[in-house]
Amino acid sequence: PKARRCIAPDCPKTAQGKTNFCKGHGGGRRCQTVGCTRAARGSTAHCIAHGGGKRCVADGCNKSAVGSTSHCVKHGGGRRCVYAECNKSARGGSTFCARHNTMERKRVAQEAAAAVVATRPMVSP
């Protein structure tokens, strides 16, 4: 059986539950906190902001766990920056933290610029 698509215009996502919409367009289970319209997470009745989903297992922490880990970012959950001796969390689709991602982009751009200069033919005066 083919997955049902969200009926919102130009939306390629899959419809959730018994609804005709994806989570972003109001489909699936909603947070049960009064006034909240976000999607409920996991087997809970609330969104992450209202205590739903997987929580960090560190003593006294009530933040949400990140990714497939059992901890929040502060307590070591999620992906870590791959830069030597950095233990901050990696951001977005990168393998670096925000600081080292900027440094890496600059380094790659400098290498690319140097490669362009090195491949230019020498012009005789």
CA separation (Å) from 76 to 7, 54, 60, 72, 88? Answer: 39, 15, 15, 6, 8
Beta bridge partners of 67: none
Structure tokens at 2: 């083919």
The C-alpha atoms of residue 104 and residue 59 are separated, in whole angstroms, by: 35
Closest CA relative to residue 69, chosen from 51, 54, 86? 54
Is-contact 3 14, C-beta < 8 A?
yes
- Summarised one tens digit per residue, pLDDT across range 2-14 is 788 999 999 999 9
pTM for the whole structure: 0.57
Longest dimension (CA), the chain: 77
CA–CA–CA angle 25, 23, 77 (5° rounding): 135
Residue 75 has pLDDT above 70, yes or no: yes
- Summarised one tens digit per residue, pLDDT across range 114-124 is 887 777 676 66
